[in-house]
Homo-oligomer: A and B are copies of this chain.
Amino acid sequence: MTRVSVAGARGRMGSLAVAAVQAAPDLELVAALGRGDDLAAAVGSDVFVDLTVPDQVMANVEWALGQGMHVVTGTTGFTADRVEQVTAWAQAADRHVLIATNFGIGAVLVMQLAAKAAPFFESVEVVELHHPDKVDAPSGSAIRTAKLIATARADAGLGDVPDATTTELPGARGAVVDGIHVHAVRMRGMTAHQEVVLGGPGETMTLRDDTYDRSAYMPGLLVGVRQVASRPGVTVGLEHYLDLD
């Protein structure tokens, strides 16, 4: 039985995380901590889950590592400096940390598998589809996906994607991120969806993730909680826990 505490437990992600830990037969909830609660309630946990905010997370992580806990966090704002600091604390405590901005397993797999497939196809484009209240286009995930694909193509010695367009209504061919065309659809009824289409002579392959609601992030979070004790060091990105290679 792994003992788990959750900080940020009254937020949207945090309250789902508390319920997911409680529902898992191999996990035991020690403390569900909201803003202002005393961290001491978490003493004795094996894993500390931080789903708070950038101005709280560093103090929490330092405390938890100092208490001998491993840490899993989905809190944003981990700059290179912060990762370096966390690494120092983790080494000193001989404990492990997972920092992930996306716990959606499907979303992470689409990105990673797209990069694995990219060297074998002449063409590739990214289409992301989100609810129409989103303010940025394309999504950060789509930009990262395009960059991963671009790097994989470059490493494989592929050149530019083929594109004979000479007459274009402005924007028709999408945004171009490191040479990869990315299209953003905004659609009432949808939440967060991403599709990567790859093509060669006579064949196309499509990888698609459909995220319908926040519960999608719980299976990935539990992967982190269950594995962090056996994954030495500080890991950035859930993909490294998914044994893709």
A103-156 contacts to B (CB < 8 Å): 104-107, 109-110, 113, 116-117, 120-123, 125, 127, 129, 132-138, 143
A12 within 8 A of B: no
Within the complex, which residue of B137, B163, B199 is in contact with A167, where a contact is CB–CB below 8 Å?
A: B137
Are A182 and B207 neighbours in the complex by a CB distance under 8 Å?
Answer: no
Interface string of A206-218 (1 = CB under 8 A from B): 1111111111111
Q: How many copies does the complex hold?
A: 4
Residue pair B120, A105 in contact (C-beta under 8 Å): yes
Question: What secondary structure prevails in chain A residues at the interface with B?
Answer: mixed
Q: Tell me which residues from 178 to 231 in chain A have a Cβ below 8 Å from any Cβ of chain B.
A: 181-191, 197-220, 223
Contact of A203 among B175, B176, B216, B223 (CB under 8 A): B216
B185 lies within 8 A of A181 (CB): yes
Query: Which residue numbers of A lie inside 8 Å of B, CB to CB?
Result: 104-107, 109-110, 113, 116-117, 120-123, 125, 127, 129, 132-138, 143, 161-177, 181-191, 197-220, 223, 242-245
